[in-house]
Amino acid sequence: MFDLTYQEKKAIIFLISLILLSLGSSFALKVNSPVKKFFEESRDINKKDINKASMQDLTMINGIGCKLAEKIIEYRSKYGPFKDLEDLKNVKGIGDFKFNKIKDFLKIR
Amino acid sequence: MKNILAGFTLAFILGIFSASRINLCFWPVYILAFILLITGCVCIKKEKLFCILLFPLFLLSGILSWKNLFTLQNNHVLRFISAKAEEIYVQGSVASYPRTKNNARNFMLAVHKIQLEDYWQEASGEILVSLKDSKKEVFYGDLLILKGKIRAPFRPYNISRYRGYGNEYRKSHALLNVSEYVEKIKNSQFNLFIYYIFKFRKRLENIINKNLSPISASVLNAVILGLRGGIPERIREVFLNTGTVHIIAISGLHLGIAAFIILILLKLAGIHRRLRYIITIAILFIYSILTGMNVPVVRAMIMASILLFAGVIRRQANIYNSLSVAALTILFINPTQMFDLGFQLSFLSVVAIVGLSPKINTLFSRYFKKSVFAGLFLKLFSVSLSVWLVLSPLIIFYFRVLSLIAIIANVIICPFMAWLISASFIFLIAGLIYLPLADFFACMLEISISFLLKFLYLLYSLPGSYFHLPRLN
C-alpha cells in the first residue's frame, strides 16, 4: 500500500511509542503532582478570616445572614479580635447548632 | 508512497481538531492507542493491516497531545485564578526575552510562588506578563515579585477572537497585568545556554539601536532579531497592505539566506563538506533561539536541518516529509499552534511554493525561454503568485485585506531582502568586532531601508493596490 520497508516500519513504531510514552508519563506526572499540599492549602483558601471578613464576606457563608453578620462585626469592634473560633458562641444568635454549621467556613490567622 | 509522513501529520492534525471540539477522557484513549500500537507491532509484516493501523494511531496521538496540554498540574497558577480577577502577588523568574511594545515590557514569567490572602503558595506554570513601566530593567532569569491581576487565557481555537489578544506569544497563557513592580530579588540564571544567547541578542540589539535611526533600527530589529514591537503602526500597515509583512517576521527566507552565508564562509575557510553542514545546523539552531523560536523559524530550522543532515548521510531529503516532521514536532510540543496564524501561513506558504509554483512556472515558461533574467523573473513571479493564491483567502479571513500589489511587490522585494539580510549580517559582525567599524555599513543600511520603505509606500499609495473587505457574518 505504502511500500514501507521493514526498517521504516520499525522507525515509525519507535516514533509512536516514544510519543505515547512521553504523553502518558507527562500526563501521569501532572495529575499526581503535589496533590496533598495543594488540596490542604486550597481548602483553606475558601475559609474566611473571622477577624478580617467584611459584612459581604460573612453573608456569603451559608448560615450567616445580614443580621448575624452585623452582630459578629459589632462584637469584634466592641471586644477586639476573636482569639478562638469558640468565642463566636459569645455572639448573640450563635448557639452550638449554628456554630457547628458555620465553623468549617471560618478561620483565625 | 513517497509522502507518507504528510498523511500521518494530517491524521495528527485531525486528532487535535477533534479533541478541541469533543471532550474525551485521556486514559481510555491512551489504552486504545496502546492496543493499536501492540497490534501494529504484531502485524508489522502484514503490509495493509499495518498501514491501516497507523492512521488511527497518529489521530489518537493528536487527541492525547491536546488533552495533555490542557491538563494542568495541581499547583498550576491557573488553578488559583478567581473569576473576580483580584490583585495578587506573584514570584517567578523571567523565562523569555523581554520585548517592548506600546511602552510596555512583555515577557513570560515562570511562576514559583503566589500569595493567597496572607500566605505564599507554591505554584507552577508560565504566565505572560505585561509591565507598563518599560524603563524597568528586566532580563531573562531575573527573579521578580510582581503584583497585578491575572486574566485567564481564552480558548485558543476560538479564532474569531484571535486578533484581540497579544499576538507575540502563545495564546494559551494567562496574562498578568502588573500594577506594581515590587522588587527584583536576584539575577538567577535560569538556563545558562539560553542566558548567554539572550545576552548576545541584547548586544546585537544595542549595535543596531546605536548605529541606525529609530525607524531603520525598528525595521532591522524585526528583520534580523525578530523584535517587531518597535515598528510604528503606520509602517506595519504599509507592510500588511502591500502583502510584504512576511519580511518583518523571520521565516524560511531569512534562515535560508543565513544558511547560505554560513555555508559560503565555511567553504572559504576550507572546512570539509560534512562538517560544514553539521556546523551550519548548530548555528541555525542557535539563531532560531536568538530570534525567539517563533513557529516560522522553528519550521524553517527543522526543514533546513533535515536537508543538511540528508547531505551529511548522503541521502536525498523529501521536502513534504521534512515539512511533515517540522509540523509534527511543533504540534507535539504545543498542539494549540494549529490555530495560530503564523503556523498556518508558514506551512501553507511552503506547500504553495513546493506544490503550486513549479506548475505556474511550467505554464508560463514557453514565453521566457531565451533570456536568463526573464527566467529568473518567472521563477520569482511563480513563487509570489502561488503563495498569494494560497494565502489570500486566509489573509482576507483574518485581516479583511485583499492586496493585489502583493504579487509584484514580492517579486522585487524578495531579491532585495537577500541583499538587505546579507548586508545586515556584515554590519553586525563589524559591530561585534569594533563598533565604529559598523558606522560605514550603517550608512549603507540606512539607504537600503529607506529605499525599501519608500518603495513600499509608493506601492501602498497606488490606487487599487489593496482593498479592505467588509466583515462577513
pLDDT tens for B435-448 read 888 888 899 999 99
Backbone phi, psi, residue B311, to 5°: -65, -35
Long-range CB contacts for residues B42-48, cutoff 8 Å, separation at least 24: B44/A6, B44/A9, B44/A10, B44/A13, B45/A6, B47/A1, B47/A2, B47/A4, B48/A1
The alpha carbon dihedral of B138, B141, B146, B152 has a sign of positive
Mutate to test the interface with A, among B16, B68, B80, B329 (most CBs of A within 10 A): B68
Largest interatomic CA distance in chain A: 87
- C-alpha B244/C-alpha B242 separation (Å) is 6
The pLDDT confidence band at residue A38, using thresholds 50, 70 and 90, is very low
Residue appearing with cell numbers 576550507: B270
Mutate to test the interface with B, among A38, A44, A51 (most CBs of B within 10 A): A38
Q: Do A13 and B41 touch (CB under 8 A)?
A: yes
Which amino acid does the sequence have at B122? E
- Give CA B453 to chain center in angstroms: 23
- C-alpha B139/C-alpha B161 separation (Å) is 30
User: Domain coordinates of chain A in residue numbers?
Assistant: 6-33, 45-107
Average pLDDT rounded to a whole number, residues B359-380: 80
The strand pairing partners of B178, in sequence order, are: B131, B148
Average pLDDT rounded to a whole number, residues B210-226: 91
- Which DSSP category does B124 fall into? B
* pLDDT above 70 (res B84): no
Compare CB distances from B37 to A16, A39, A41 and report the shortest one's residue. Answer: A16
- C-alpha A18/C-alpha B416 separation (Å) is 44
Q: Specify whether the CB–CB gap between B88 and B115 falls below 8 A.
A: yes
Residue B419 corresponds to which cell in the numbers above? 541583499
Chain B residues within 8 A of A23 when measuring between CB atoms: 30, 61, 64-65, 68
Q: Specify whether the CB–CB gap between B205 and B227 falls below 8 A.
A: yes
Residue-level pLDDT at B82:
66
Higher pLDDT, B63 or B167: B63
Residue-level pLDDT at B157:
47
Q: Do A16 and B58 touch (CB under 8 A)?
A: yes
Residue A7 corresponds to which cell in the numbers above? 526498517
DSSP secondary structure string, B179-239? EEEEEEEEE--S-HHHHHHHHHHHHHHHHHHHHS-HHHHHHHHHHHH---TTS-HHHHHHH
Residue-level pLDDT at B203:
92
* pLDDT above 50 (res B331): yes
Residues B265-309: pLDDT tens digits? Answer: 899 998 888 899 999 999 999 999 998 888 888 888 998 998 899
Chain A residues within 8 A of B58 when measuring between CB atoms: 16
Collapsing DSSP to helix, strand or coil, B119 comes out as strand
Q: Do B41 and A26 touch (CB under 8 A)?
A: no
In chain B the domains, ranked by start, together with CATH numbers, are 4-69 (no CATH), 77-190 (2.40.50.140), 198-468 (no CATH)
Residue-level pLDDT at B230:
81
CA distance to partner chain B, nearest, from residue A78 (Å): 25
How many helices (H) and strands (E) would you count in chain A?
Answer: 5, 2
Q: Per mean pLDDT, which range of B169-178, B186-195, B228-237, B464-473 is the poorest? A: B169-178
Residue B91 corresponds to which cell in the numbers above? 514570584
The alpha carbon dihedral of B435, B224, B231, B244 has a sign of positive
Residue-level pLDDT at B145:
86
* pLDDT above 50 (res B160): no
Average pLDDT rounded to a whole number, residues A39-59: 66
* pLDDT above 70 (res B158): no
- C-alpha B409/C-alpha B387 separation (Å) is 13
The third-level CATH classification (topology) of the domain covering A45-107 is: DNA polymerase; domain 1 (1.10.150)
Chain B residues within 8 A of A16 when measuring between CB atoms: 37, 40, 54, 57-58, 61
Residue-level pLDDT at B2:
65
Average pLDDT rounded to a whole number, residues B211-216: 91
Q: Per mean pLDDT, which range of B13-22, B67-76, B320-329, B444-453 is the poorest? A: B67-76
For chain B, what is the mean pLDDT? 84
Residue B259 corresponds to which cell in the numbers above? 544558511
Mutate to test the interface with B, among A5, A9, A48 (most CBs of B within 10 A): A9
Residue-level pLDDT at A4:
77
Neighbours of B131 (CB within 10 A): 22
* pLDDT above 80 (res A27): yes
- C-alpha A76/C-alpha A80 separation (Å) is 5
Residue-level pLDDT at A109:
67
- C-alpha B380/C-alpha B353 separation (Å) is 10
- C-alpha A97/C-alpha A104 separation (Å) is 13
Query: What's chain B's length in residues?
Result: 473
Residue-level pLDDT at B283:
93
- Which DSSP category does B353 fall into? I
Higher pLDDT, B85 or B223: B223
Residues A60-82: pLDDT tens digits? Answer: 777 788 888 888 888 888 888 88
Compare CB distances from A19 to B61, B71, B121 and report the shortest one's residue. Answer: B61
Residue-level pLDDT at B170:
43
Dihedral class, residue B389 (left if φ above 0, else alpha if ψ from -120 to 50, else beta): alpha
Residue-level pLDDT at B188:
66
Residue-level pLDDT at B162:
45
The pLDDT confidence band at residue B327, using thresholds 50, 70 and 90, is very high
As a whole-number percent, the residues of chain B with pLDDT over 90 amount to 25
Residue appearing with cell numbers 531582502: B417
- Which DSSP category does B153 fall into? P
pTM of the model: 0.77
The pLDDT confidence band at residue B61, using thresholds 50, 70 and 90, is very high
Q: Do B332 and A4 touch (CB under 8 A)?
A: no
Residue-level pLDDT at A24:
94
Nearest 5°: the CA angle B338, B356, B245 is 55
Dihedral class, residue B293 (left if φ above 0, else alpha if ψ from -120 to 50, else beta): left
Compare CB distances from B71 to A12, A20, A31 and report the shortest one's residue. Answer: A31
- C-alpha B390/C-alpha B355 separation (Å) is 11
Q: Specify whether the CB–CB gap between B208 and B224 falls below 8 A.
A: yes
Residue-level pLDDT at B187:
66
The pLDDT confidence band at residue B122, using thresholds 50, 70 and 90, is confident
Give which of B243, B331, B225, B317 is closest to B10, Cα–Cα: B331
Backbone phi, psi, residue B4, to 5°: -65, -35
The pLDDT confidence band at residue B152, using thresholds 50, 70 and 90, is confident
